[in-house]
Structure formats: structure tokens, C-alpha cells
Structure 1
Amino acid sequence: MAGSTSAKASNWLWAWSNSNLPGELLSDAKLVRSFGEKNSIDELTQAYVTDADNDLEALGWELTGAMARICDALGAYRSPRGEGGALYLIFKSFSWAI
């Protein structure tokens, strides 16, 4: 899990800072925070990132893309949420169900 956007708050919340998410799903998000700390990238170390350009979808994809790159992901997915934001996920492996 990468994080989520909120239309109401007009921001991004990193998965590593979301207390509602199970800890076993946050190792990659925590890796991104560590990368941000090591390289002084504020957007990767702050729990909330504000939407300065008023484009939540672009913000969500930008930060999810950074996570995908850092974590060697194969892809990403955006799931809409009822309040106008979205949940962003990365994929690190694929397997087919028959």
C-alpha cells in the first residue's frame, strides 16, 4: 500500500502513517520513508503531503510512482474512495488464477 488522497482534506496520507492499515502491509511504504530521510526528500518523510496544485490525482500518482520506483514495483493501481479521494497500491508480483 502506498497511501491515499482525501478530497475533503485536499492531501495525501502515506500508508506508513495510517493507523487504520495493518502493519504487515507497510514494509514498502516504510522503505520509501527511509529513502526520503536518507536523501532529504520532504514529500517522502511527511505523513501528510498537501495538494498545492489542486490536483489530487496527479499528487497521488506522483507519490505512488516514486514508491514504485524505489521499491522496484511492476505497476500501480488507484482505487476510488467514496469521499472523492483514492487509495493507491503498488504491485511487486503477478500471478494468474485459472
Structure 2
Amino acid sequence: MKVVAEIQIAGSTSAKAGNWLWAWANSNLPGDLLSDAKLVRSFGEEKGIDELAQAYVIDTANDLEALGWELTGAMVRICNGLGAYRSPRGEGGGLYLVLKSISWAT
């Protein structure tokens, strides 16, 4: 069985830089997968939550994976996602995706 999922990109972590980069601030990502990340940015600006409104979030707790999941979880909640997935990246860190819809492939 195969499934099809609609996704949005939340952001990525970098072990080298020790930070999180929101997807809306990454010019290398396709624009059609960034609308939810942009909504999170607006939410952060409205509520005064710097971690949601700034392009980069520094890993001050020295737990980069926890930071990635925390910020992705915020996006899932704010944008009514179904869940999230972390894809590994070559240089360490991960690419975090939010699942918007899931259905059986036909």
C-alpha cells in the first residue's frame, strides 16, 4: 500500500551552525511549500514570539533535535497539521516537514 501526503516545510536544523532556519527564510526552498511557515511567522509577529518571527533560532539548550521538533510542533498546532516528519540531512541536522493531508494512493 502507498500513501500520498500533502506537506509544508517548517524549517531545518544545522549541526554546523547550531541553529534552526525557518523555511520562509530559506531561498533554496520551493515557495509553494512555505505558506504555513509564513503563517507561523505572522503569528509570531502578532503575539511577540521571537522564536516564530525571526529567521534563525539559536540552539541555546544544546539539543538541536529538540529545538527542531519544538518549532515544528508549534507549526503543526498553529496551522492545524496532522503531524510531522524529520528527514535527515547530510551535514547533520534535519529537514522538518508538516503533514497537511494523507490519503491512500490510487
TM-score (norm 2): 0.91
Q: Report percent identity of matched pairs.
A: 81
Structure 2 residue aligned with 1:32, among 27, 40, 47?
40
Counterpart check, 1:74 vs 2:82: yes
Aligned CA-pair RMSD: 0.6
Counterpart check, 1:41 vs 2:55: no
Describe the superposition over 1:37-96 as per-residue Cα deviations: whole angstroms up to 9, x where unpaired.
Answer: 000000001100000011000000000000000000000000000111100000010011
- Number of equivalences: 98
Structure 1 residue aligned with 2:11, among 3, 19, 33?
3
Classify the secondary structure of the residue corresponding to 1:3: strand
Alignment partner, residue 15 of structure 1: 23
Structure 2 residue aligned with 1:64, among 72, 91, 95?
72
Alignment partner, residue 95 of structure 1: 103
Q: Give the strand-richer structure, 1 or 2.
A: 2
- Displacement over 2 Å in runs of 4+: none
- 1: distance between equivalents of 2:101 and 2:64? 27
- 1: distance between equivalents of 2:44 and 2:82? 21
